[in-house]
């Protein structure tokens, strides 16, 4: 058991604290948005306050708020935040076996800047390298995704994830990636390098999107391709069962830790994005949190002939056959 | 004035009716979703009721509900619905100068099937070929977008669109499509035809996404690329100012009529997706509703040197320089 140092009672208490913290931090994000929306209470900005300044300030303020709240309540826990990293020089992987909070005060920064509702606060609690508690709160649409190990994953603390469970949680489709929704992101690295990450990503998206059997047998003909601009919410919607497959490279641990906690507790699978030499037989290992390469499959129930896990693993292998290797190194990896 | 046959008072009354109708229809969509979510009140489905059957049934039921409500209240108005078309043989463009309702009971069908919240009901009222009232309701996140000509465009009837207006509605960026969010869809046509629509779309997305100056000078380096799987909501979020540019081919009038009504009333611009021979000088004409080719630009305020409309038109021309011609014919076009 990954959480042998903490009792379930302790975890439950930390979970309650984390949910409350997520809602309060989300409220701060919303207040920052309200200031840019005209027509009422909000203080008028000076022209010199650019949207970028406001967003950076919000990002820092919300991280401080979360950091202080955690430090007051759990002074012995470690804290790793997106802003903390950004200001340091290093991107070493800092998570170890000790109880650690890994948070992103504002995931989906570009969405936030444009007030596209797909932005959120992301809070994970990690013990022994495993994210055991996750809280993701998207305040503009008031959607809270949360989980605690052994307690289930939830939308707004009342609907269990995955959502579709009547009459049963569906297995992954027999011809997956056919009939699947693929969630993927164009990302920030759009350099025009031949065979660089951008082109490898697009080629992979095309393989998964094109009609079955085309592209040299790689055509997967997914049902739909979605890009939200938030890795955290991509994972949340995969846990919800809305997305079947999320394939991504380039994220950092604060982008994915809470989402992975929620997805795993909901019954999903997360492994590496990069295909192994033999995708048909290679072991399907749990993702390394700091690996920057992620392939997530939604929670799945059994089919007539396979367990839920078998339908997920079959899907992993079919995705691996259609995607390219991505190159996202990190210091110390 | 396009609506000379109807007084503003009449339009206001029709608007109130349309908003109420949108909310009720959205509630029906939500009830259908609830049935597939386990854990309570919902009646258990028989295994034979596939998700596809349920969705088709919902689509038809909601269209009937809307059609009947309109027919009772406005028996002389014409009615065009997505399901009505789908069951007929023809895809002729049927809208004329008479008062006409053009509705899609369920836009984002794939999202609805997977319970990804980006599905909605879409209701437009059209007079003299112009959509003058639009109602889009996404019930899972309780977001209602609505507009009536001369009355503004609104989110949930209380926040005026576009949202960001403090201190002013921002102009389109000086280096647009740089700093813009591009909204686009992979669509259903994923046939592996060399230089077919799928490849032309992807090439266009790539031109807009790649670093500035790359791809033979076509690199646009948008800030982000988003795909929601709902043309209707793409337009709604463009009206909201969340997306700066929406470029799409292949939609039908019921996919876009309500969104265009809302976008225009919010101050946006909609023209054709397909670049003219000389994108620098060609006139920027209002889109034809049934053209199946759409380029939408969000509402924009003036910059120090340009009117809002000038910043939009400049953006249209820069997009046209980076996209390919798409081929989406229709009978009678």
* 3-class secondary structure, A131: strand
Specify binding-site residues of A.
Answer: 82, 104, 106-107, 255
- Chain B contact for A143, CB < 8 A? yes
Q: Using a CB-CB distance cutoff of 8 angstroms, which residues of chain B are in contact with residue A224?
A: 110-111, 186, 229
C-alpha A295/C-alpha A273 separation (Å) is 5
Which of A40, A118, A224, A246 to mutate against chain B (most B CBs within 10 Å)?
A224
Q: Which of B160, B194, B229 is the last residue of a domain?
A: B160
Q: Based on the domain organization, do A119 and A234 belong to the same domain?
A: no
pLDDT tens-place values along chain A, 333 residues long? 444 579 999 999 999 999 999 999 999 999 999 988 865 444 444 545 566 788 889 999 999 999 999 999 999 999 999 877 766 656 788 888 999 999 999 999 999 999 999 999 999 999 999 999 999 999 999 999 999 999 999 999 999 999 998 889 999 999 999 999 999 999 999 999 999 999 999 999 999 999 999 999 999 999 999 999 999 999 999 999 999 999 999 999 999 999 999 999 999 999 999 999 999 999 999 999 999 999 999 999 999 999 999 999 999 999 999 999 999 988 654
- pLDDT score for A87: 67
Does some domain include residue B332? no
**Three-class DSSP category at B329:** coil
B40 pLDDT more than 50: no
More confident: B147 or A333:
B147
In a domain, B330, yes or no: no
How far is the C-alpha of A239 from the C-alpha of A262, rounded, in Å?
A: 6
Cα gap A289→A131, rounded to integer Å: 9
Please report which residue ranges of chain A form alpha helices under DSSP H.
Answer: 8-36, 51-73, 82-87, 109-114, 197-209, 214-217, 231-240, 253-266, 308-320
> How high is the pLDDT of residue A40?
46
Residue from A120, A142, A226 to probe the interface with B (highest B Cβ count within 10 Å): A226
Q: Are residues B128 and B12 in the same domain?
A: yes
Beta bridge mates, A102? A80, A124
Compute the average pLDDT of residues B117-123.
Answer: 98
Whether residues B115 and A241 touch (CB distance < 8 A) is answered with yes
- What is the pLDDT, as a whole number, of residue B1? 42
Q: Confirm whether A167 is domain-assigned.
A: no
Which residue in A115, A166, A210 is closest to B37 by CB distance?
A166
* ipTM of this complex prediction, to 2 decimal places: 0.95
CB atoms < 10 A from the CB of B222, how many?
30
Which of A167, A221, A240 is closest, CB to CB, to B44? A167
Average pLDDT for chain B: 92
Tell me if B328 is assigned to some domain. no
**DSSP per residue, A306-331:** S-HHHHHHHHHHHHHTT--------T
> B174 in a domain, yes or no?
no
Same domain, A18 and A48: yes
Same domain, A156 and A37: yes
Helical residues (DSSP H) of chain B, grouped into ranges? 8-36, 51-73, 82-87, 109-114, 197-209, 214-217, 231-240, 253-266, 308-320
Residues A72, A190: one domain? no
Burial string for A255-264 (b: 16+ CB within 10 Å, else e) reads: bbbbbbbbbb
Per-residue pLDDT at B88 = 62
Q: Cα–Cα distance between B318 and A313 in angstroms, integer?
A: 45
3-state DSSP assignment of residue A111: helix
Closest CA of chain B from A218, distance in Å: 11
- Do A100 and A218 lie in one domain? The reply is no
Q: What CATH number does the domain containing A88 carry?
A: 3.30.540.10
Interface check for A4 against chain B (CB to CB < 8 A): the answer is no
* Sequence-separated (6 or more) residues with CB below 8 Å from residue B3: B11, B127, B128, B130, B132, B149
Q: Could you tell me if residue A53 is left (phi over 0), alpha (psi between -120 and 50 degrees) or otherwise beta?
A: alpha
Residue A253 Cα distances to A25, A97, A232, A263, B287, angstroms: 19, 15, 10, 15, 45
Verify that A118 and A223 share a domain, yes or no. Answer: no
> Could you tell me if residue A1 is inside a domain?
no
Same domain for B188 and B122, yes or no, is: no
User: Is residue A200 domain-shared with residue A297, that is, in the same domain?
Assistant: yes
Contact (CB<8Å) A215/B225: no
Does B12 share its domain with B156? Answer: yes
Residue A223 lies in a domain: yes
> In this structure, what CATH number is given to the domain that contains residue A227?
3.40.190.80
Q: Please tell me the total count of domains within chain B.
A: 2
pLDDT in tens, B176-202: 999 999 999 999 999 999 999 999 999
- Closest to A157 (Cα-Cα) out of A140, A135, A177: A135
Closest CA to B235 of B115, B138, B98, B99: B138
Residue where a domain stops, chosen among B114, B130, B160 = B160
Range of the domain at A99: 8-160
pLDDT of B264? 98
Average pLDDT over residues B231-258: 97
Cβ–Cβ below 8 Å for B165 and A223? no
Which pLDDT score is estimated for B330? 79
From A95, A126, A160, the end of a domain falls on A160
Examine residue B177 and say whether the peptide bond preceding it is cis (omega within 30 degrees of 0): yes
> Would you call B109 an interface residue with chain A, using a CB distance cutoff of 8 Å?
no
Nearest by CB to residue A166, choosing from B45, B113, B242, is B45
Distance between CA A141 and CA A118 in Å, rounded?
8
Task: Clarify whether residues A155 and A185 are in a common domain.
Answer: no
The answer to whether the CB atoms of B164 and A37 lie below 8 A apart is yes
Q: Could B241 and A166 be called an inter-chain contact, meaning their C-beta atoms sit closer than 8 Å?
A: no
Are A265 and A315 in a shared domain? yes
CB-defined contacts A:B, below 8 A: 163
Optimal mutation site among A109, A114, A222, A242, interface B, most CBs of chain B within 10 A:
A114
B48 touches chain A (CB under 8 A): no
Residue A327 lies in a domain: no
């Amino acid at each position: 058991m990954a959480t042998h140092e903490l009792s379930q009672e302790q975890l439950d208490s930390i979970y309650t604290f984390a949910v409350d913290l997520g809602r309060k931090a989300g409220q701060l994000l919303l207040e920052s948005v309200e200031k840019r929306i005209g027509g009422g209470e909000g203080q008028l900005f000076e022209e010199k306050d650019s949207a970028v300044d406001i967003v950076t300030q919000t990002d820092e303020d919300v991280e401080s708020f979360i950091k202080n709240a955690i430090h007051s309540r759990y002074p012995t826990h470690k804290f790793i935040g997106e802003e903390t990293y950004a200001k340091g020089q290093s991107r070493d992987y800092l998570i170890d076996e000790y109880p650690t909070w890994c948070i992103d005060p504002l995931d989906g920064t570009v969405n936030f800047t444009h007030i596209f509702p797909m932005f959120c606060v992301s809070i994970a609690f990690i013990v022994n390298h495993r994210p055991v508690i996750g809280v993701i709160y998207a305040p503009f649409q008031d959607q809270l995704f949360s989980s605690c190990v052994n307690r289930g994953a939830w939308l707004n603390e009342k609907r269990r994830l995955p959502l579709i469970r009547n009459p049963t949680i569906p297995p992954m489709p027999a011809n997956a990636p056919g009939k699947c929704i693929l969630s993927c992101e164009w990302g920030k690295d759009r350099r025009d390098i031949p065979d660089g990450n951008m082109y490898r990503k697009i080629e992979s998206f095309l393989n998964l999107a094109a009609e079955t059997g085309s592209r040299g047998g790689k055509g997967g003909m997914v049902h739909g391709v979605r890009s939200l601009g938030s890795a955290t919410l991509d994972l949340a919607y995969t846990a919800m069962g809305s997305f079947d497959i999320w394939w991504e490279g380039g994220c950092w641990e604060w982008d994915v830790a809470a989402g992975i906690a929620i997805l795993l507790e909901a019954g999903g699978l997360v492994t590496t994005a990069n295909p192994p030499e033999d995708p048909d037989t290679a072991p399907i290992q749990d993702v390394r949190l700091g690996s920057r390469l992620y392939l997530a499959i939604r929670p799945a129930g059994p089919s007539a002939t396979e367990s839920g896990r078998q339908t997920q693993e079959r899907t992993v292998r079919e995705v691996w056959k259609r995607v390219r290797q991505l190159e996202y190194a990190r210091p110390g990896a």
